[in-house]
Chain A
Amino acid sequence: MRLPRFDYLGPDTLDAALELLATHKEEAKILAGGTDLVVRMKKGLLKPKVLISLKALNELSYIKEDGKEIKIGARTPLADIIASDLIQTQANALAQACEKVGAITLQHYRGTIGGNILQDNRCFHYNQSSFHRSGRQPCHKDGGKICYARDEADRCNSTCQSDGATALMALGAKLTLASKGSARTVNLEDFYTSDGIMPFAMESHELLKEITIPLTGAKSAYHRLAYRSAIDYPVVCAGVLLKPSDTKKEEIDDVRIVVGAMSRSPLFLAQASSSLKGKKLSDIDAFKTAADTAMNSASAFAVHNVGATLAYRCEMVAQMVFRALKEAAQAADR
């Protein structure tokens, strides 16, 4: 498959990149690893006039901590995150999530954490060749007014299948978005628009610069379900953060349950999360109840557009949440 034509710009510094982005705005796309962007361009889903490559910007590739937070540069390869002791001990869900992205030797050295968060939402009616799509009316995301995933839907129902974003939302991560002359920090939970056409609340002149994870001493875990581990996106995934109480041993202080691949963004499920407050770390029945609550809450959002049948995916939400809770509780108990 040939790529459509575009101009390639390779700035040497972050400031130069932001300057170029401010000039070209929506005509430009940022190229990091290219494992999502290039595929979309090949399928004719995206035709940017300009690609701004982050190849020379090694300043955006780092993992560090300052006692309060872990800071990860947006261009850090997934392989570096998987191998990081800091991430494994303090934010294990993220290491587990990155390890499940694509195939071990191939995507990990090209794929970046920023690209993983900003991978476009997917839908099996939309992510098809241009030939396939040319045979029928365009859907919302393709510039039309139809949704093939849900009848009569007035907007795009494409699904966010990012492993990294689900884990990061459970970890309570923040994103730093830089633009020419300024920067802002936004909670990952507030980063989504609930519109599948443009799922991210980010301007065309902004660039994802840094991901910040608070150091809380809590334990986290990530579980996902996919057909073939090496090449498929998750059909259901769950990230969990579990903070044991400082004063009472074996008691849960706070929990964050996030379910991914079920909606236009990862879903933070407040009701299921708060049901575990004050429960014992060994209370398996409470985990089961919370997992069922999570399933009921998440099911309301899902449409049949990423592979497995909807009923199966909904049931599996409970499984993924339960497994993640159990693993996090075991880690906290040690």
Chain B
Amino acid sequence: MEKIKITLTINDKLREVNVAPNDTLLEVLREKFDLTGSKESCGEGVCGSCTIQMDGKPVRSCLTLALEADGCTIKTVEGLANGDQLSDLQESFINHGAVQCGFCTPGMLISADALLQNNPKPDEKTVRKALAGNICRCTGYAKIVDAVCHAGSPDNQCPDCKTGQ
């Protein structure tokens, strides 16, 4: 099967790669670029652990062909931090204890990051709706939702964390 060259802007870096038609974007990110933050879990678009941002919109990379992403801007969980400096959202996840086993966390962060870009101060209902496609089998949703709400407005009083104090 012939490989086809595609161009992707991954986490602000222009990259070229040869892919087969049946390579998914997730496989290319994990195996060709070693960006193993995005996880494959169900592999059929249900769980959300493979969520990445394509042109700023969260999509399921396990259902996106790599060829369909040709020319697009990709952001993975590795692109959230600035060097060693974690983003506010990531700090908020740590401060709220929003991580248990951690397998869903990259998808949660990417979905939440996409929400916060459009809506910097979301209420709880909006956050729950935005994260509805990301499933956590530790079922620790409450702290994840707190973390996202608070990352958007760190000045708010938050009894659960020390951010902003």
Q: Are A and B interaction partners?
A: yes
Say how far A98's CB is from chain B's closest CB, in angstroms.
Answer: 14
Question: A88-125 interface mask toward B, CB cutoff 8 Å, 1 = contact, 0 = none?
Answer: 00000000000000111111011000000000000000
The 8 Å CB contact of B133, one of A3, A34, A105, is A105
Answer whether residue B106 sits at the interface, using C-beta atoms and an 8 A cutoff.
Answer: no
Residue contact A53 to B67, C-beta cutoff 8 Å: yes
Answer whether residue B121 sits at the interface, using C-beta atoms and an 8 A cutoff.
Answer: no
Taking CB atoms, residues of chain B closer than 8 Å to A107 are 45, 60, 133
Residue contact B44 to A43, C-beta cutoff 8 Å: yes
Give the CA-CA distance A153 to B116 in the complex, in Å.
Answer: 52
Residue contact B135 to A106, C-beta cutoff 8 Å: no
Taking CB atoms, residues of chain A closer than 8 Å to B67 are 8, 10, 53
A10-B67, A31-B65, A42-B44 are known contacts. Are A106 and B59 too (CB-CB below 8 A)? yes
Q: List A residues 266-284 near B (Cβ within 8 Å).
A: none
Give the CA-CA distance A5 to B43 in the complex, in Å.
Answer: 17
The 8 Å CB contact of B63, one of A2, A5, A7, A35, is A35
Say how far A44's CB is from chain B's closest CB, in angstroms.
Answer: 12
Answer whether residue B64 sits at the interface, using C-beta atoms and an 8 A cutoff.
Answer: yes
Taking CB atoms, residues of chain A closer than 8 Å to B60 are 35, 106-107, 110
Answer whether residue A51 sits at the interface, using C-beta atoms and an 8 A cutoff.
Answer: yes
Taking CB atoms, residues of chain A closer than 8 Å to B1 are 5
The 8 Å CB contact of A231, one of B20, B23, B43, B135, is B135
Give the interface of B toward A (CB within 8 A). Answer: 1, 4, 20-24, 43-46, 48, 51, 54, 57-60, 62-65, 67-68, 111, 114-115, 129-135
Question: What are 19 A-B interface contacts by the 8 Å CB criterion?
Answer: A1-B43, A2-B22, A8-B65, A35-B60, A39-B63, A42-B44, A43-B44, A51-B21, A102-B45, A103-B134, A104-B133, A105-B51, A105-B58, A105-B131, A106-B45, A106-B48, A109-B57, A109-B58, A109-B59
Across the A-B interface, give the 9 residue pairs with the lowest CB-CB distance, nearest first: A103-B133, A230-B132, A8-B21, A3-B22, A106-B133, A1-B43, A109-B57, A105-B58, A39-B44
